[in-house]
Amino acid sequence: MKSDLTERYIYAVTKKLPYKTREDVARELRTLIDDMLKERCGDMMPTDKDVKVVLTELGTPTELYEQYAGDGKRCLIGPNYYNTYLFVLKLVLICETVGLTVAAIVSAVVNGQDFIWYQAIMQWVGMLFSGAISAFGFVTALFAFFEYKEISLDTNSSFDDLPPVPKKEETISKGESIFGIAISVIFLVVFLICPEIFMCGVVDGKMVPIFSTQVIRNTWYILFVFSALGITGEVVKLLDGKYTKRVMLTTVITDVLSAICAVWWLSNKNIINPEFASRVGALFEGDSAFLANMFANFQYFFMGVILFALLLDCVVTFVKWMKYSVEK
């Protein structure tokens, strides 16, 4: 069947083209193939073989599709971002692996006698795998978003538009961002896998965990968002390398959102192990009312520390931006 093969060929070429041009290209190709067959066979009825020869001349459907698709934007993460993307991806994966491994060892030690080694190893491998997938997904989505927002940034740039070479103190060191990303990833991993790691020695020699493991695991999404915000901010710093307006805005926005997450997360009374609050509180009862109070309301103390750190980050970034970027 001549028409059947032609139609299948045209369908294969056009199916991946943008919707708007699909029908138009198909119509044009139909006439073209017909013309080519006419030329080959004259008034004779073209055979199956003729159709195949003509289609071979046009190339495989994939080849022809490539021609139509051209070299327009057909990538998720382009050359502008690719190197940084790979770098951050590797960093996050390494931190995730290290964090998970440390977490696994700590849980093994803490769990003591209940420890079954093959189960622990299976669990560890499973966590590494699912952790790697979420890390990969998050980093890729983040950079795909940057790529998408930045498509037309490089057009029309003249020599006069080139930014001045930043002085040493204006730049944001790569190490700072790497450290920030590493901390975010390790924080997330440790809190999700073994919040028991935050221990507090108590007089009778027994260790009491600060946080309630179960409550923390149930609120994993807040922790995830918190870390994701931190990583996003650091990646923007890594990309720009100095205190640009973009860095300032991203920092302020991610810090505000992180603060909301922190308040939301730590307002939950149950997050602190009740045993910890009462025992440690009691420990200081006689000596210092301040310390007793601090440990009794440990989560608010913790919240305060986080909010202060976020505020400090905001202010420092804003001031540096004012100082290094605005004056010109």
Partner 1 sequence: MNIDEVVSGLILELRRGTLILLVLNQLQEPKYGYNLVKELQEHGIPIEANTLYPLMRRLETQGLLASEWDTAEAKPRKYYKITQDGEQVLQKVKENWKTFSANVNQLLEPEVE
Residue 71 or 160 having the CB closest to partner 1: 71
Find residue 208's DSSP bridge partners. Answer: 200
- Per CB under 8 A, does 23 bind partner 1? no
Stretch that binds partner 1, among 18-26, 84-92, 170-178, 309-317 (CB under 8 A): 18-26
**Identified binder of partner 1 from the candidate list 10, 64, 127, 266, rule CB under 8 A:** 64
Compute how many other C-beta atoms are within 10 angstroms of the C-beta atom of residue 286.
8
**Identified binder of partner 1 from the candidate list 8, 15, 27, 90, rule CB under 8 A:** 27
Residue 55 or 271 having the CB closest to partner 1: 55
Tell whether the torsion through CA atoms of 247, 304, 100 and 129 is positive or negative.
negative
Residue 3 or 67 having the CB closest to partner 1: 67
Q: Token pair for residue 37? A: 């067959």
* Min dist. Cβ of residue 30 to partner 1 (A): 8
Report 36-55 residues binding partner 1 (CB under 8 A).
36
**Identified binder of partner 1 from the candidate list 5, 22, 26, 68, rule CB under 8 A:** 68
- Per CB under 8 A, does 63 bind partner 1? yes
* d(C-alpha 189, C-alpha 185), whole Å: 6
Q: Token pair for residue 107? A: 């849980």
Stretch that binds partner 1, among 59-67, 115-123, 140-148, 318-326 (CB under 8 A): 59-67
* Min dist. Cβ of residue 58 to partner 1 (A): 5
Stretch that binds partner 1, among 26-34, 153-161, 179-187, 250-258 (CB under 8 A): 26-34
* d(C-alpha 96, C-alpha 39), whole Å: 64
Residue 29 or 261 having the CB closest to partner 1: 29
Residue 31 or 156 having the CB closest to partner 1: 31
**Identified binder of partner 1 from the candidate list 70, 79, 164, 205, rule CB under 8 A:** 70
Residue 13 or 266 having the CB closest to partner 1: 13
* d(C-alpha 241, C-alpha 171), whole Å: 6
**Identified binder of partner 1 from the candidate list 24, 48, 176, 285, rule CB under 8 A:** 24
Stretch that binds partner 1, among 67-75, 271-279, 294-302, 316-324 (CB under 8 A): 67-75
**Identified binder of partner 1 from the candidate list 29, 181, 261, 262, rule CB under 8 A:** 29
**CA-closest candidate to residue 96, choices 58, 139, 67, 35:** 139
**CA-closest candidate to residue 277, choices 290, 293, 260:** 293
Cβ proximity of 226 and 261 under 8 Å? yes
# of chain residues touching partner 1 (CB under 8 A): 19
DSSP codes joined into one string, 164-213: PPPPGGGBPPHHHHHHHHHHHHHHHHHHHH-GGGSEEE-TTS-EEESB-H
Compute how many other C-beta atoms are within 10 angstroms of the C-beta atom of residue 240.
18
* Min dist. Cβ of residue 148 to partner 1 (A): 21
Cβ proximity of 57 and 63 under 8 Å? no
Alpha carbon dihedral 183, 185, 191, 195, in 10-degree steps, equals -60
User: Angle CA(273)–CA(196)–CA(187) in degrees, nearest 5?
Assistant: 105
For binding to partner 1 (CB under 8 A), which residues are involved?
A: 21, 24-25, 27-29, 31-32, 34-36, 57-59, 63-64, 67-68, 70
